[in-house]
Chains A and B, each alone.
Chain A
Amino acid sequence: MGNLLETQVLIIGAGTTGTAIARELSKYKVDTILLESREDIGMGETKASHGFIYSGGLTAAGSLVMKSVMLPSGQTAFNPRSRKTQMEHESIKEFPSLAKEMEVGLSHDRRLMLARDEGDLKMLKVAERICGDMGTKITWLDREGILEREPWVTKDVIAGIADEGYQLSVYPWDWAIALAENARQNGLRLLLLTEVIGIKPLGRGFLIYTNRGSIRTEFIINAAGPYADKVAKMAGVCDFGLTCTRSQMVILDKRVNLLNQSVSLAPKPGKVRTLRKTISGNIQTICSEYYPVSDPEDTTTLMNWTDQSIAGAQEMIPSISKKDIITSYVGVRVFNTRDPEEDILEVSKGNPRFLNAAIRLPGVSVTPAAARHIVNLLGIQGLELATKTDFNPHRKRIPKVSELPDEERRKLIAQDPRYGHIVCRCEEVSEGEIVEAIRRGARTVAGVKYRTRAGMGRCQRGFCGPRVLEILARELDIPMRKVTQMGGLSRVLLYRSKDLLGSGGLT
């Protein structure tokens, strides 16, 4: 990067929010830069976020308690008429076509909420009222009906309610990566490993200081996730605070075929218990407690959270066992202290050219409407929005050989033999896919993992690890020892053989 870049709009943060706004803006003849401090897109909250896309009462009802669990203590706000809820309603209809345009995996899910006792039943009736209020259609199921849909659910279950068509699922990092690729196809400039260290308001815009140089911009969109308050402070316009909570998810082996779609237990104060079938076919548990955390980088897993996750899962599906775990991870969720019910999607009060886009969970869910809203605001603030006639909404995904019909697979291998060489055995990922991921911007083991799924399987990089490292080194033309797990100081291999044996031999 040179000494000074110029742009019209600078988006800070390449998570699901920043990338959605970037893609929306790329429909207009507006010079845009998307800035990200980390090595890759979506490596902050996004990569550990759930990717639930929902609207409707049942989810609102479920999230009623979820929120009481997740919010800073004492806050249990729930407003079915909030702008956020409206945006969820508006946005959900758009996802199927967006997913198709950008070739991102999307699954249709449905929430099935279970009752095991009278207390649970009461909660389900509350949920039913909320759904009625919001116009969400639900179905009551008796035990037989539940077991027909989910034969492995606990026989203790006495009743359940389900909504249809109010929940979809994506992998948030998949989504963010696709949005960014599409936006770049349409002219977006992406700057990774670039951290904002100072913001100086100018007459009509700002001068941004980063670790790699300065940028002059007319507008700033603050989509910096858990650091949005820090960024706003840099510009002297912070009028909100942020709090974070964290919780642990556990992923079970794909082979554990005990769930067809999502199930939840009826909400109980302080407890979230949901089991979900991911797009790739793994069962994911969302059953651990939520804990406030001051450091948004703190993603350490805990033994008792792992136990809670399994115990909670077993309350719904008794045959699940700790032995089925293939990995665990922690996700951080950010809320604003000004109004935990709403997102902060607005022109800041302090500076008409500084816009905040601090979206709490569900994040991906609202991004289509939220992105449009932000672009609208930009227009109101004086940015000229001339529509591009050559905007290309179509982004092609990296071919996934394991999902191709045989003939297509053969054709692809004939064109590029690397698609025939399987590198990740557990997820059936070919060398061709890994090379393409690197071509599209993956520079680390994590970058390859999130774009191809190589390393996400049951052996957790036992087989493909060395091979992915080799391919990264080869394609990036760097020594194997420079390859990192996730950027920064996370080099995988520290020394060459014999490096530690000085001329004096062993210590």
Chain B
Amino acid sequence: MAEQTIICIGCPLGCHVTLKVDKDGEIEALTGNQCKEGREYVIAEFRAPVRVFTATVLTEAGGRLLAVRTDKPVHKGQLKELMAVVAKLRMAPPVKAGQVLVPNILGTGADLVASSSI
């Protein structure tokens, strides 16, 4: 059985919530939260810690950068991989904000979309 601490980001308390996790990866016990929203957040964060990925993409030599984002949060472990993909992208204008640049990027289920326009 293992222990893991997750910090709840729901309110300025920032409770450090301790999870006791069994060998199958299931939560056995959860302590340290001060509200039920916090409990729900920590459980969700434990099961699938997700983040919205944002970055910039290079356009043609010297041109203005394009800001990009995933339209949905993705697993936080994939951020660096996503960055490696984005690093190789080169976009040429015109690109409209909201335009899908890479659908279902790296199989995450999220699209990489333009967050600004060029």
Contact = CB atoms under 8 A, between A and B. Distances in A.
Interface of A: 497-498, 501, 504-506
A505 B80 contact: yes
Nearest to B81: A505
Contacts of B58: 497-498
A501 B56 CA distance: 13
B97 to A, nearest CB: 19
Contacts of B83: 501, 505-506
B4 to A, nearest CB: 24
B72 to A, nearest CB: 22
A504 B80 CA distance: 11
Given A498-B58, A505-B80, 5 more contacts: A498-B87, A501-B87, A505-B83, A505-B84, A505-B87
A506 B77 CA distance: 13
A506 B56 contact: no
B65 A497 contact: yes
Given A497-B56, A498-B87, A501-B87, A506 B65 contact: no
A505 B81 CA distance: 7
A501 B65 contact: no
A424 B84 CA distance: 37
Contacts of B56: 497
Most buried by B among A497, A498, A506: A498
A497 B91 CA distance: 14
Contacts of B80: 505-506
A217 B72 CA distance: 73
Contacts of A498: 58, 87
A506 B87 CA distance: 10
Nearest to A505: B84
Interface string B53-75: 00010100000010000000000
A501 B89 CA distance: 12
Q: Specify which of B65, B84, B87 lies most central, judged by the most chain A CB atoms within 10 Å of its CB.
A: B87
Contacts of A504: 84
Nearest to A496: B58
Contacts of B84: 501, 504-506
Interface in B77-118: 80-81, 83-84, 87
Contacts of B87: 498, 501, 505
